[in-house]
Amino acid sequence: MRHRGRLSPSSPARKQVASAQARAQAKKTAGEQHSVVIENLSNEGQGVARLNGKTLFVKGALPGETVLARIDRNHRRYDEGHMLELTKAAAERVEPQCPHFAQCGGCQLQHLNHDTQIDYKQQWVLDQLARQAQLVPEQLDAPLRSVPQHYRRAARIGINQRKDGSAIVGFRQEGSKYLIDIDQCLVLDPRGDNLFRDLAALLNAHPGQIKRITHAELTFGDTNGTLTLRVMKNLDGSLQQQLVALATSLGCGLYLNHGDHIETVHEDSAPAFNLPAFAQQLNFAPGDFVQVNAAMNQAMIDRAIEWLDPQADERILDLFCGLGNFTLPLASKAAEVVGIEASKEMVARGEHNASLNGLTNCQFEAADLTYPISARRWFKQGFDKVLIDPPRTGALEIIEQLIKTPVTQLLYVSCNPSALARDAITLKEAGFKLQRFCVMDMFPHTTHVESLALFVKH
Ligand SMILES: C[S@@+](CC[C@H](N)C(=O)[O-])C[C@H]1O[C@@H](n2cnc3c(N)ncnc32)[C@H](O)[C@@H]1O
């Protein structure tokens, strides 16, 4: 039916007219160039300016700068653009060290002085906590600071083939699904300096097999590591032998991930890293979650132990425990630690790691913590303190169960500020205070923010 005359506010036709108007308005300024002053840094690393009352995100610009910006896309509430010319540079601007910075999607903040990056990240999380949860930490501890380069002991490297048959070995291009060739990654452990070049040369000698491999996963332990190739089909023997030689030159074993299982092709020793402060060694295997920044991992565990302060008569719950990264250090102080993790393989690794380090007071159990777990024996036995280290999705389901127990101290290790703020609302409503908080420079030059938040109920 055609509408004549006035349309009701909720009529579909009126909504169509409104969205057509919004689209027309949204198109209006794309392509224009304006000189703008950058007021802030978005949590995606873009400069934030105001232009004619609307927010403009300017790629490549930093707070305090005046830039000539081109508007690329209009949205209803904000516009997006990029920097054409830098009129006045911020004191914090630095020359990016990495030659791939302009194209690579890996790092977003190499143009910002490394020391300043973590200060912005701290502000992002504090803003999010204040805005979303109306929470201000009672005590703000200094950020844990990392070295700026060569901090990553793990990386996922994309592999593809060009139309001319040559291999692309690298990372995703910024804002795209396409891969770009990487020559050397400056944030990766220096043991991986030649990996991209060597792997590309090797694959270029076997062009018929490049499409059989989709990506490689590299994880360095302290003296060894794992190089795992995700393969869609078996590889020819000669390529496999050359890959073993390449992995060995890195000090790594070679593994093939076939999707339903991981095949060990060559392994000289069980991959492992140490936690020197606790004189503990943790074994890992391909596919395991391993904290990427080894030095920050040790610093994070030290701070977690200091804040949670486990006592010799206490029972601690370590949720999302992985292969025991926090469980084992906690067990060196507490009476008993129960580590819970979804992956059965990592539960087995946790058990193995506990016995490797002579710890008899750790228990590991497999459980999906997005499901009700309050009927589980280990949950019903009670605990004094809890550490949770969830994935990016956060830990709302388990927090809703924890707040019904007598537990009064919960240390939240977060890799996602918005999930942390959302979960903090539930904790706050249950009477918890955010007693201590700090951010950690786990991933310098990227926009990722990790933080530690100690929630306490008096
Ligand atoms: C951020 S990692 C932390 C691992 C460990 N705490 C560490 O420091 O190495 C999150 C862990 O949660 C596990 N995980 C993810 N989803 C889960 C779920 N629904 N239930 C239980 N564990 C889960 C992952 O397998 C991973 O080991």
CATH code 3.40.50.150 region(s) in the chain:
118-147+274-282+293-456
Ligand 1 pocket residue status of 296, Cβ below 6 Å:
no
CATH code 2.40.50.1070 region(s) in the chain:
154-266
Mean pLDDT score, 412-418: 98
**Helices 114-133 and 417-429, interaxial angle, to 10°?**
40
pLDDT at 3: 37
For domain 12-88, the question of CATH label 3.90.1150.10 is answered with: no
Residue with the bigger pLDDT between 24 and 330: it is 330
Q: Does the pLDDT of residue 2 top 80, yes or no? A: no
Using the mean position of ligand 1's atoms as its centre, give its distance from the Cα of residue 166 in Å.
37
Using the mean position of ligand 1's atoms as its centre, give its distance from the Cα of residue 347 in Å.
10
Contact 57, 77 (CB under 8 A): no
The ligand 1 atom nearest the CA atom of 343 = 25
pLDDT digits (tens, 9 = 90+) for 322-340: 999 999 999 999 999 999 9
Mean pLDDT score, 143-148: 98
pTM across the whole model: 0.92
145: CB partners within 8 A, 6+ apart: 115, 118, 441
Among left, alpha and beta (phi > 0; psi -120 to 50; other), residue 369 is alpha
Q: CA 95: distance to chain centroid?
A: 25
Q: Which CATH class is domain 154-266?
A: mainly beta
Instruction: Dig out the tokens for 105 from the structure.
Output: 């999607």
Other beta carbons less than 10 A from residue 86's beta carbon: 15
Query: In sequence order, which ranges of 89-222 are alpha helices (DSSP H)?
Result: 114-133, 195-204
* 415 belongs to the catalytic site: yes
456 - beta bridge partners? Answer: 409, 433
Instruction: Dig out the tokens for 140 from the structure.
Output: 């703000």
CATH number of 118-147+274-282+293-456: 3.40.50.150
Q: Does the pLDDT of residue 446 top 50, yes or no? A: yes
Percent of the chain clearing pLDDT 70 (strictly above): 94
Helix (H) or strand (E) holding 51: strand 47-51
Mean pLDDT score, 213-242: 97
Contact 411, 396 (CB under 8 A): no
Q: Does the pLDDT of residue 1 top 80, yes or no? A: no
The ligand 1 atom nearest the CA atom of 320 = 12
